[in-house]
Amino acid sequence: MAAKSYTVAGRHFRRQGDLDATIKERLNSHPRNVEFADDFLAAVVNELHPDVLAADVRVTRFQYLTWDEQARRGMPTANGYRGGGIVLGWFEPLGRWEDVTVYPHRQASRATDLRQALRVKINPYLPRPTDRDWCATPGCPARGLQLEYEHAEPTFKQIADACLALMTDQERETRFGYSKFDPARRTIEDCIPDDHPAVRLLFELHQDNRWLWLCKLHHRNVGAGPERGG
């Protein structure tokens, strides 16, 4: 199969890797946690992002926020996502900042989005560590609030996939009516009804699953991930 090519801002890229490399170079040329403009990155979002095209909006400016800056601002992304930086875009004519990926051509699958939504949905109901709890990794000194819940058996993916099997094709394809730029429909986990069979199974499978505590480094290698945003 021939490699997929792209044309963005009048520039042709023979391979996705070439486009990705240019995006990464442009993104990393700007300082973190401050507002900046970049015509090429704007063209990537405005020409390739399906949700942006569907909503007939345009991004004009960006911010690339570190995980620490998200936490300092009290942004829900600091806890809702799994570490790493996040890109915000200023969208017109909406006149507001929205999280957005500058790699829209390689966005996560519908299934991945729904698994993440289920993870966020169950998170408030999981146990919380105390000062008596330690990271399960031998020799790791992390304890207490440094720890996170790790699904051991079954894995979270196994749990989530069993839940996804209870969703209809339409529910999976539309992500339960998700709309990135509609405040009432912009979080997939809120679009999934609490009484949906998939959600009921999600809670049932957490009744007697095996789990353990891990620190952020051993659980998800915080700080090593790519930028995020939808």
pLDDT at position 137: 94
pLDDT at position 227: 46
* Alpha helix positions (H), the chain: 16-28, 39-48, 50-55, 67-72, 77-80, 110-122, 156-164, 169-174, 188-191, 197-204, 216-220
Pairwise CA distance, residues 9 & 19, whole Å = 11
Which residue matches tokens 């995006």? 23
Contact between 41 and 102 under an 8 Å Cβ cutoff? The reply is: yes
pLDDT at position 168: 97
Domain boundary assignment for the chain: 6-105, 108-220
pLDDT at position 182: 87
pLDDT at position 186: 85
- Other beta carbons within 10 angstroms of residue 184's beta carbon come to 9
Average pLDDT over residues 43-54: 93
Residue 80 pLDDT more than 70? no
Contact between 208 and 153 under an 8 Å Cβ cutoff? The reply is: no
| Entry pTM | 0.66
Digit-coded pLDDT (tens) for 200-223: 999 999 999 999 999 988 987 644
Of the given ranges (81-90, 137-146, 171-180, 191-200), which has the lowest mean pLDDT? 81-90
Digit-coded pLDDT (tens) for 114-161: 999 999 999 999 999 999 999 999 999 999 999 999 999 999 999 999
Digit-coded pLDDT (tens) for 82-119: 567 899 999 999 999 999 999 999 877 889 999 999 99
6-105 under CATH 3.50.50.60, yes or no? no
Residue 189 pLDDT more than 50? yes
Pairwise CA distance, residues 101 & 89, whole Å = 9
Q: Average per-residue pLDDT in the chain?
A: 91
- Indicate the pLDDT class of residue 54, thresholds 50, 70 and 90: confident
Percent of the chain with pLDDT over 70: 93
Pairwise CA distance, residues 43 & 79, whole Å = 30
Q: Which of 3, 5, 43, 1 is nearest to 23 (CA)?
A: 43
* Alpha helix positions (H), 56-187: 67-72, 77-80, 110-122, 156-164, 169-174
pLDDT at position 50: 86
